[in-house]
Structure 1
């Protein structure tokens, strides 16, 4: 028994003294397999790029959400004329810029959808007034041509006139006047800003007001207060009021056709 144990111990000692050997590939083989791996990756990459380039053009869908039939048709006609690449390579920002180039469009979202293709969702500008006879203007004072010409015939809108660059100023002035004259049951129907910065305002009750660019806001506000107090009983008799004076104004009357000057 002791001999057996001694022999096993000797064998273990021999194995411990015996040098370990690692199987290593020759250097040439290493280079071969490395090159093979790189080659396969490049092949996959090239095939992927080729597949993307040869893929059929992506389908563009224009959402009807938030658009009238005329607006949807106008946007659809514009987008279908645009060259597009595949589903993955089409430049979405470029399509968005094209859609935003339409004057009546306010916001645009362009997304990819696996089932439908490239989806374009747009929101139109919301008109609050006419600007001249062929354009509209939104609450921010942005002037635009609508997609549907029928919008130009809306009777609910007031009409603004002046230089396009002055549209935000005219819009702001109209909104302010409407606020001041709302207690009198009056709203602006037409407002004009001339090149000489003279304001011409016509209310929905037929009263016309003209005012220059000197203390314009104060003059219009003071008039609203007078019409609501001292002159309230004669409001329906007035045809026009001229505020282009430093210390007063004149009133033209409907029936008599005469003018009355009123001083501060």
Structure 2
């Protein structure tokens, strides 16, 4: 083998290439730690490229204050993504480098649909999240894990109530999955555990020529009867 010059040349070339690659790797790791191309700017925008509605500049700065920023090339984007994802109102985070020395952080913020329990909110996807809002929102109360179902029912019930010009102020779902809807005028509708959509549609159909004529107007309508309803 040692008398075979071709084999010796191949071994020598392989060793040389290995040394070159090792040196290049070490040099690359060393270069990443140098203050070359320091990060100059972090731009935080919403999904439309505008200013986030709920996340402030101070909150964005605080989110990464304890993160090792380093140079533009050595940024740990996953760590930064997790840091921004912990902020209230943030649903998803996308981060990309803007050459030569900037970073763009795109935040998808929750869009609040309703209040949930004590101090929580429900977004339009039926997901609960922690946040504060001054908006006038309906209240959802139900067993854990039912926010998504309540959000879907809310959309259906809201559409059915449009001819009456009424809005839902509160929805309750009992542990036995019985539905109760409180309208914005104070009226309470008992929908029960089945055929909720059909029962509410029946209420809307009969409202103008029957219920609206009652004096005084009812405060409670029980729609759980198969062929009618009870009022009080």
TM bracket (short chain): 0.7 to 0.9
Higher RCO, 1 vs 2 (CA within 8 Å, ≥6 residues apart):
2
Are 1:89 and 2:97 matched, yes or no? no
CA shift for structure 1 position 99: 2.7
Quote the Cα distance in structure 2 between the aligned partners of 1:35 and 1:251: 91
Counterpart of 1:185 in structure 2 is: 165
CA shift for structure 1 position 109: 1.7
Pair 1:53–1:122, CA change in 2 (3 A): same
CA shift for structure 1 position 117: 3.3
Structure with the greater alpha carbon radius of gyration: 1
| Equivalent residue for 1:227, pick from 159, 184, 207 | 207
Quote the Cα distance in structure 1 between the aligned partners of 2:178 and 2:14: 81
Alignment RMSD: 3.2
Quote the Cα distance in structure 2 between the aligned partners of 1:154 and 1:126: 11
Quote the Cα distance in structure 1 between the aligned partners of 2:42 and 2:85: 16
Unaligned segments of structure 2, at least 5 residues: none
Quote the Cα distance in structure 2 between the aligned partners of 1:245 and 1:184: 22
Quote the Cα distance in structure 2 between the aligned partners of 1:188 and 1:41: 67
Higher-helix-fraction structure: 1
Quote the Cα distance in structure 2 between the aligned partners of 1:160 and 1:82: 37
Quote the Cα distance in structure 1 between the aligned partners of 2:170 and 2:22: 69
| Equivalent residue for 2:102, pick from 107, 114, 117 | 117
TM-score w.r.t. the length of structure 2 is 0.78
Counterpart of 1:73 in structure 2 is: 58
Pair 1:54–1:183, CA change in 2 (3 A): same
Query: Which digits, 9 at most, give the CA deviation of each residue in 1:201-241, with x for residues without a partner?
Result: 11111111112102222111111111134333338711111
| Equivalent residue for 1:166, pick from 138, 142, 146 | 146
Unaligned segments of structure 1, at least 5 residues: 1-25, 253-264
CA shift for structure 1 position 141: 0.8
Quote the Cα distance in structure 2 between the aligned partners of 1:91 and 1:75: 16
Counterpart of 2:116 in structure 1 is: 131
Quote the Cα distance in structure 1 between the aligned partners of 2:82 and 2:215: 52
Query: Which digits, 9 at most, give the CA deviation of each residue in 1:27-62, with x for residues without a partner?
Result: 9xx89x969975666545533332213447964725
Quote the Cα distance in structure 2 between the aligned partners of 1:45 and 1:211: 68
